Amino acid sequence: MSRFNQDSEASRTLLRDNEFLLPVYSRYPVVMDRGEGAHMFDTSGNRYLDLMGGLGVNALGHAHPRMLAAMADQAEHMVHLSPQFTSVASVNLAERLCQLSGLASVFYSTGGSEAVEGALKLARAYGHKNFGAHKTRIVSLNGSYHGRTYGSLSVTGQAKYRDDFDPGLPGVDFVDREDFAQLEAAVTGDTCCILLEPILGEGGVYELSPTYMAHARALADRHSALLIFDEIQCGLGRTGEWFAYLASGVLPDALILGKPLGGGLPLSALVVHEDLVHTLGVAKHGSTLGGSPIACRLGLEYLSVVEDEGLLAKVADTGSYLREKLVEIANNSEIVVEARGRGLIQGIELTIPARPIVEAALAQGLMLNVVQGNVIRFLPPFLLTREQVDTTVNILAKLLQDAAKQSAAPAPATLSA
Ligand SMILES: *Cc1c(COP(=O)(O)O)cnc(C)c1O
How far is ligand 1, taken at its centre, from the CA of residue 99, in Å? 23
Pairing state of beta strands 137-141 and 172-175?
Answer: parallel
Query: Alpha helix (H) ranges present in 39-132?
Result: 53-56, 65-77, 88-101, 112-131
How far is ligand 1, taken at its centre, from the CA of residue 253, in Å? 19
Choose one of 284, 309, 334: the last residue of a domain.
Answer: 309
Closest by Cα among 323, 346, 353, 327 to 338 = 327
Same domain as 143, residue 269: yes
Spell out which residues line ligand 1, taking CB within 6 angstroms: 111-113, 116, 145-147, 197, 201-202, 230, 232-233, 258
Residue 336 is part of which domain span? 9-63+310-404
- Which atom number of ligand 1 is nearest to the Cα of residue 197? 13
Alpha carbon nearest to ligand 1 atom 7, residue = 112
Question: What does the pLDDT read at residue 7?
Answer: 81
Does residue 4 belong to any structural domain of this protein?
no
Probe residue for ligand 1, chosen from 58, 110, 233, 243 as the CB with the greatest number of ligand atoms within 8 Å: 233
Same domain as 219, residue 363: no
Same domain as 298, residue 338: no
Mention every residue, 6+ apart, whose C-beta is less than 8 A from residue 381. Answer: 37, 38, 50, 53, 58, 59, 60, 61, 62, 344
Question: What does the pLDDT read at residue 3?
Answer: 58
**Count of residues making up the chain:** 417
Same domain as 58, residue 110: no
Question: What does the pLDDT read at residue 383?
Answer: 97
Does residue 231 belong to any structural domain of this protein?
yes
Choose one of 285, 309, 333: the last residue of a domain.
Answer: 309
CA gap 254, 196 in Å, rounded:
11
The domain total for the chain is 2
Same domain as 262, residue 133: yes
Q: What CATH number should be reported for the domain holding residue 194?
A: 3.40.640.10
How far is ligand 1, taken at its centre, from the CA of residue 231, in Å? 9
Same domain as 329, residue 318: yes
Question: What does the pLDDT read at residue 5?
Answer: 59
Alpha carbon nearest to ligand 1 atom 5, residue = 112
Question: Whole-structure pTM over 0.85, yes or no?
Answer: yes
How far is ligand 1, taken at its centre, from the CA of residue 7, in Å? 34
Same domain as 110, residue 23: no
Mention every residue, 6+ apart, whose C-beta is less than 8 A from residue 189. Answer: 131, 134, 135, 223, 224
Same domain as 97, residue 21: no
- Which atom number of ligand 1 is nearest to the Cα of residue 152? 10
pLDDT along the chain (417 residues), means of 10: 68 95 94 98 96 98 98 98 97 98 98 98 98 98 98 98 97 98 98 98 98 98 98 98 98 98 98 98 95 98 98 98 98 97 98 98 97 98 98 98 88 55
How far is ligand 1, taken at its centre, from the CA of residue 5, in Å? 33
